[in-house]
Structures are given as C-alpha cells and as structure tokens.
Amino acid sequence: METPTQDMDVRWLYTQSQLKLREILPTNKTFDVIQISELVDPTDFISPNSVVLSVGIAFAETPDGLRDWAHRLADAGVIAIGFGSGLTFPQVPQALIDASLHLGLGLFEVPREIPFISITSSVRDEQTRRAGRLQQELLLEQERLNSIAISGGIEALCRAAADYLGGAVAIVDSDGRVACSITTDDLDALPQAVSRLNGSSQALTDATNFGFIHRMTRYGDRHHVLSVLMPTRPSEQHRALIRHCAGLADILLQRPEAMRDREIEVRSLAMSLLLGRSDDLATIHRVFADITDASGNIRPILITGNTPQSVRKALSSVATALYKQERALAHLRLAESTELLFLRGSRSVHNIVQLFGTAASGVRLCIGLPTRAENIDKKLIRELTATAKTLQLGTHAEPRDGTLLWLQNPELRKILKIRSRDTYDRLLDHDRTNNTELAPTLVSFTQHSGHIGDTAKELGIHRHTVRTRMIRIEEICEIDLNDPLTRAELLLVIATKEGDVEKQ
C-alpha cells in the first residue's frame, strides 16, 4: 500500500498530536511516499524517499532478522521507519533501533491504538491541502502574468517569468531572431534555444542546471521557441507556469497578424453590407469559419431574461465553457435583455444547455435548427424571439418543439397589436409614468400559467405583492386574470409585442 506525498518532512508527522507518534531516532529528510509492508524482503515494492510502516509480523519468531530488514529498506531508499508496537512486539525491538541508528534511518513508534490508516489518511489530507494551496498560488501567478503581458508586452512577461522561476528565459523564432532574452546571474537560456530551434518540446538536464524547451504554435512557415534555464529542478507548478507563459507569448508574437487578417475580412463584410450586397458568401463563410461545423452550419440561439444581469451571466458561463474547449463565441445584443448567440451547427440541444450551466435557470433559450450563416435573417430571429418570449424562466425550446410560426400571420399580428394597445401597452405607460413594475409582473404571471408562487419566486418578491399587482393590472387593463383564455391571449400579445420591438 502506498500513499504519494509532496516532499513532506517526517517531523510534520510528529506534530500531528492525534497520531501519538513517539520519535526514537530523528531525521531531517523529506519523504515522497508512505508505505505499509509486512514482507521479509519488500525491496521490489519500495519506492525511494519513502517512509515504511510495519508491525514486524514476519519477524515475530526472529526479531534479529529486523537488522537485515532495515538494511534492505535503506538500500531501497527508505528514509524512516514507523514501527507499530503492542501487536507483534510490546515495544520497538532493540535490534531495529540499533540497525536504524547505524544506517541513519529515522525511527518512530506507532502506539497499538493508532491504526496505520490514520497515518496515511493524515498524509493524504495534508497533501490535498498543500496541492490546493499550490494550485491557488499558481492561478494567482498566472493572473499576474496575464496583466503583465497585457500592459507590458513580451519583454515584461519574460522578465516576470524569469523572476518567478529564478532562472533565465529566452524566446527565439525559427529564423534565429531573438524576441526576448532575460538572463539571471550566470544563467543564459539563449544558446539552449538557438541550438534547438527545430526540435520538439522537451526537458533538459545537465550536471548543474535544468532546462526546458517549449515549441510554440507554428504560424505559416514560422514558429517560436521558448527556452528556460533554472538552477533547481522545476516543479509541476513551474512547468505549468512555463506553458502558460508560452501561451501568452504566442498570443503577443503571432496572433496580431491573424487578428489583422480577420479584421480585414470583417471590414470587407461590413462594406458589403453597407453597399447593400448580400452575395459576398465567401467572406461570410471565412468570418464564421470558427463557429461553423464541418457542413458549414451554425445554430442560432435566442437568449432572453428578466434582467440584463441574468443574460450577461449566461453569456459568461457559455464563454467560459467554450474557452475550455478552445472554441469561439459569437453573439449580438438585440435588446437590453436579449442576445443572439451562434454556436456550431453540430452541437446538440443537450450539449448547448450544458454550456449554460446553472446560469440557464435565469434565462429562456430558444435554440434554432442548424442552418447556413447566409440563411440567418430577420424573419428567423423574429421566430426565435416569439418562441422564447412564451417560455418560462429556466426552460428552453427548439422551434420544431413548440413552433409559433403562425404568430407571424399579418392579420393575426394586427389583431394582437390592437389588443396590446388596450392591455399590455397601458401597463408599459403606467410603469414609465409611476416607476412601477406591473408589465414585468404580468409577463412572468402569464409565462407561469397564472401561478402566483412561481411568479413571486422568479421576481424575488412576496406572494402578497404579486396578488396586489394583479389586482392593479386588472383595474388598469379592465381584464379578469382568473380567466385562462385571457391569460393565454395576453401571453400571445406579449410574445408578438416583444417580437415587434426586436423587428424595429
């Protein structure tokens, strides 16, 4: 049995009072793993820099055999022994004490009432705590490098990385041109970079120093190499920071060219739209290349919520999820609390909803069918908007699931517009004049099928407040909200009213 650690000091074990360990022979060495073994010869199963726990069952009849056992452990790289007393032996045998003293091994006694699992669990918990602390420190350092890269550029980025690593940093392109070189004391990472311009990413070690080569992203026929030279062995945190630094340098050195090309394409498309051209499909396809699937399709998603904050939170959740997948995000604000989002056409509805995470509970989603970019027009957006406005908060739909395309009928919209003037528009005017929130309350009430409790929960107000507002709404609009047909009519009025706003 083996429990990995992160260079833990044996003395740390003695500070854990609940373990009741008694130090017999001290040691200042650190251990990487803690193992339990009752084998006579555990050599093949012992890791270097380890602590071994045992009760000596194999030597119950031959305690002198513990001398040779200790020698075998020392040869295998063990730095300390924890011996459990009170089971096989009433106390730590003198033969083991003498051998450990001779070999320079640490030795401590584990009382009978303390199971070995308590020791390994304590070590594992401490390892988790230390790993969490190191991860937090790494995140903070990465955020610091992000800020430095944005404000100071490549030179400041490399200097900050060199300071953190305590070494030298250099970046050279495939033609041997030096983008940056930061030396530290007598360390210079430049020769290492120049000698390995065409190699792959690798770790390097010589008699005194530790090197690291990171080959950065190829851009056309050109690439850069980041070289690091350190006087100490790099930890996993160091390696992660080096990779992060390389990624930031990659953006600073190479991506501006790609961004300039993309800006040219976007301007070309804008000029085409300005001149009234709609046939520039080549530019459209290039601009949307990052968010189309293999068939050239994208999925339009209409997001709407009760507040701009809930919509921004939803977009932030999607952006974070896409960033982890190294995917692009494209969205357009249509109104204060309405956004149009484009994703790859191959994404399923389930996958799209997952991107929103818990933020989906604060918005309504209408997920369109996969379609070509050039086929996304105002009519399609109005259809998505009309469907989204009929949904309850925290729900989603596809047009084919609950299509309301019949709402686009001109005669029907004319009738609903008149009805809106007599009802919903009155509330909007009243809210503007009196600084009330009757219209949003009616929207939520109709979307929740007249359920007072759900309306109150969504709006974050008391049920009595909802009832009071309903009474006032009935008075202003001269309607009976207890009538389900009236609520259904108002739901359609609201859907088409919001759709007309988007159209304008």
Instruction: Tell me what pLDDT residue 281 has.
Output: 66
Vertex 496: Cα angle to 432 and 363 (nearest 5): 75
Phi/psi for 258 (5° steps) reads -65, -40
What is the H or E stretch that residue 183 is in? none
Q: CA 309 from chain center: how many Å? A: 21
The token pair that represents 104 in the structure block: 């320079």
pLDDT of residue 469: 92
Asked whether the whole model's pTM tops 0.75, one would answer no
Tokens of 382: 């109005």
Sign of CA dihedral 308, 389, 290, 260: negative
pLDDT (tens digit per residue) in 133-183: 878 888 888 888 888 888 888 899 999 999 988 999 999 888 788 888 999
- 288-402: CATH, from 1.10.15.40, 3.40.50.2300, 3.30.70.270, 1.10.3720.10: 3.30.70.270
Name which CATH class applies to 409-503: mainly alpha
The superfamily (CATH) of domain 137-253 is: GAF domain (3.30.450.40)
Q: How far apart are CA 349 and CA 323, in angstroms?
A: 19
Amino acid letter, residue 454? D
pLDDT at residue 503, as a whole number: 40
The predicted pLDDT at position 501 comes to 37
pLDDT tens, residue order, the chain (504 aa): 344 445 688 999 999 999 999 999 999 899 988 999 999 999 989 999 999 999 999 999 999 999 999 999 999 999 999 999 999 999 999 999 999 999 999 999 999 999 999 999 999 888 888 888 878 888 888 888 888 888 888 899 999 999 988 999 999 888 788 888 999 888 999 998 888 888 788 888 877 889 888 888 776 667 888 999 998 888 888 888 888 888 888 888 865 555 555 555 666 666 665 555 556 666 666 666 667 777 788 888 999 988 889 999 998 898 888 877 767 678 888 888 888 888 888 888 888 999 999 999 999 998 888 888 778 788 788 888 878 877 888 888 876 544 455 555 666 677 778 888 888 888 999 999 999 999 989 988 888 888 999 889 888 899 999 999 999 999 998 889 888 888 888 888 887 775 443 343
Distance of alpha carbon 172 from alpha carbon 180, whole angstroms: 7
CATH of region 2-114: 3.40.1390.20
pLDDT in tens, 9-58: 899 999 999 999 999 999 989 998 899 999 999 998 999 999 999 999 99
What is the torsion angle, in degrees rounded to the nearest 10, for the CA atoms of residue 464, residue 469, residue 475 and residue 480? Answer: -70
Instruction: Give CA–CA dist 304/306, Å, rounded.
Output: 7
